[in-house]
Amino acid sequence: MIKIDSIKKGIVIDHIKPGCGHTIFKDLGLHKVGYTVALIKNIPSIKMGKKDLIKIENEIDLDMTMLGLLDPNLTVNIVENGKITEKIKLKLPEKIKGILKCKNPRCVSTIENITDIEFTLIDPENKIYTCEYCDTPVKA
Amino acid sequence: MLKDRHLIQPGDFTVGEIQGLFELADQIMESPEKYMDVCRGKLLATLFYEPSTRTRFSFEAAMLRLGGETIGFSEPGSSSVSKGESIGDTIRTIGCYADIAVMRHPKEGAPLLASKKSVIPLINAGDGGHQHPTQTLTDLMTIRRYKNRLDNLVIGLCGDLKFGRTVHSLVKALSRYENIKFVFISPNELEIPSYITDKLTSEQYETTRSLEGSLGKLDILYMTRVQRERFFSEEEYLKLKDYFLLNAKKMEKAKSDMIVMHPLPRINEISTDMDNDDRAVYFEQAKMGMYIRMALIMKLLGVE
Ligand SMILES: [Zn+2]
């Protein structure tokens, strides 16, 4: 098994669904950075069978809202001096702004330039949010 | 305190705040002469991005009867709106001239968007098929007027329950009161959506196809338009429309103090042979609408 706790200071994103690591890697823009990053795929996991994992040897500002939306089952570990100092269990954000778009053709957002529509979580199981303007549900 | 607030959806006001509106509306109805000057020098802007003569008249009559004045447009073609001005810019400019504004818009959420930029109180007078809070207040006011209460009632809602915005808002608003039972009467095609009934317990409602069969247990019957275009075929429409038509004959089955409401305009779902029945209150309902709007304007402007 590949050793995964070898970074000194940075972030480890754990419990990524197998096959999804690549998408998250790209969504975070890690394929373009200059510091040390690693994407490890298909690690055997007792809980998940298999999992993907991302290691980032740098202090970066992770967008937890975005990450939670991508996969609420992720764990984000903050590593300092080679040790995990904080474990963050992600969850679906209750409110999100500026990420989702409303698909209702009758919504005012289709005729006005609104970049910060707030969506509210109404069904966590199915990741359903509603538009603040027209209450139309959308799947995140 | 409702001063300087907006009314975008019925839930914006608490049950207590709505009660305050009813009480003021009662007083206005009782002695209108006391209120004929309270809004002197105040200006109401009516921003109607789609025409709705009935609603606009109701607001304008309300303001004029309080001694205020009105300005506005009744279709966007005749205003700077047609030149592509944003809703935010329009409401900001209007706020320089007027003291309070009313907006009707074909797009859902337009009044909410406007309220975020507005420096004066804004009232939603209907945004597409979405919200129409002053209609809901009118309905509640009418029920309270005739039943002397808003709790412990059995209310039948009949017709297009699938697309009927007034019905959805009224159900939501009434379910904030104690012991309300809803009887949803509609053809299969126009049944009440599950996202409305999901918020009710099974004791709180029943669904049925039969208007005649449910009439006897109702305290209130709320009729709505059944539009031809909602049906797959003309044949289907003709087959079903009589089921949901109310006439004097069917009314024999109703309680002697049941009231019949309708948001108007009606098409043919209430036969005109009903109009002289004391239980038909749909024209009175329109009057209640004006009084509740008078109370609303006063509260939002903070005049007493
Ligand atoms: Zn929307």
Residue A119's pLDDT is: 96
CA distance A18 to chain B (A): 35
Burial code of B78-87, b = ≥16 C-beta within 10 A, e = fewer?
ebebeeeebb
Quick one: pLDDT at residue B12? 96
Interchain CB distance below 8 Å, A112 and B129? no
Average pLDDT over residues B138-148: 97
- Looking at residue B99, the DSSP 8-state letter turns out to be S
- pLDDT tens for each residue of B227-247: 777 777 888 887 777 778 899
Provide, as residue numbers in chain B, all residues whose Cβ is less than 8 Å from the Cβ of A109: 109
Report CB contact under 8 Å: A106, B106.
yes
> How much is the pLDDT for B81?
63
The confidence score (pLDDT) of residue B266 equals 87
Question: B232 CB contacts (<8 Å, ≥6 apart)?
Answer: B189
Q: How far apart are CA B124 and CA B126, in angstroms?
A: 6
Tell whether A43 lies on the interface with B, counting CB pairs under 8 A. no
Q: Is the pLDDT of residue B133 over 70?
A: yes
Which residues are paired to B84 by β-bridges? Answer: none
Taking 70 as the threshold, does the pLDDT of residue B80 lie above it? no
The pLDDT of B63-68, averaged and rounded, is 98
Average pLDDT of the segment spanning B154-158: 97
Cis peptide bond prior to A105, omega within 30° of 0: no
Q: Which amino acid is at B159?
A: G
Question: Which residues in chain A have Cβ-Cβ distances shorter than 8 Å to B110?
Answer: 108, 112, 133
ipTM value of the model? 0.87
Shortest distance between the Cα of B226 and any Cα of chain A, in A, equals 22
Alpha-carbon radius of gyration of chain B: 20
Cα torsion angle, A105, A110, A111, A112, sign = positive
Would you place residue B200 in the very low, low, confident or very high pLDDT band (cuts 50, 70, 90)? very high
Q: How far is A73 from chain B (nearest CA, A)?
A: 27
In chain A, residues with a C-beta closer than 8 Å to the C-beta of B127 are 108
> How confident is the model over B33-56, as a mean pLDDT?
96
Out of A108, A113, A131, name the one closest to residue B107 (CB).
A108
Residues B45-69 as b or e (16 or more Cβ within 10 Å = b): bbbbbeebeebbebbbbbbebbebe
Better pLDDT: B304 or A50: A50
> CA B66 to CA B36: how far, in whole Å?
4
Where chain A has pLDDT below 50, the residues are: none
% of residues, chain B, pLDDT over 70? 97
What pLDDT does residue A38 have? 92
| pLDDT at position B20 over 80 | yes
Distance between CA atoms of residues B8 and B11, nearest Å: 8
Mean pLDDT of B182-190: 91
Which residue, A97, A131, A129, is CA-closest to B108? A131
For residues A66 and B203, the model is more confident at B203
Mutation for testing the A interface, residue in B108, B132, B169, B198 having most A CBs under 10 Å: B108
Segment B23-35 shows an average pLDDT of 97
Q: State pTM to two decimals.
A: 0.86
User: If pLDDT is split at 50, 70 and 90, which confidence band does B188 have?
Assistant: confident
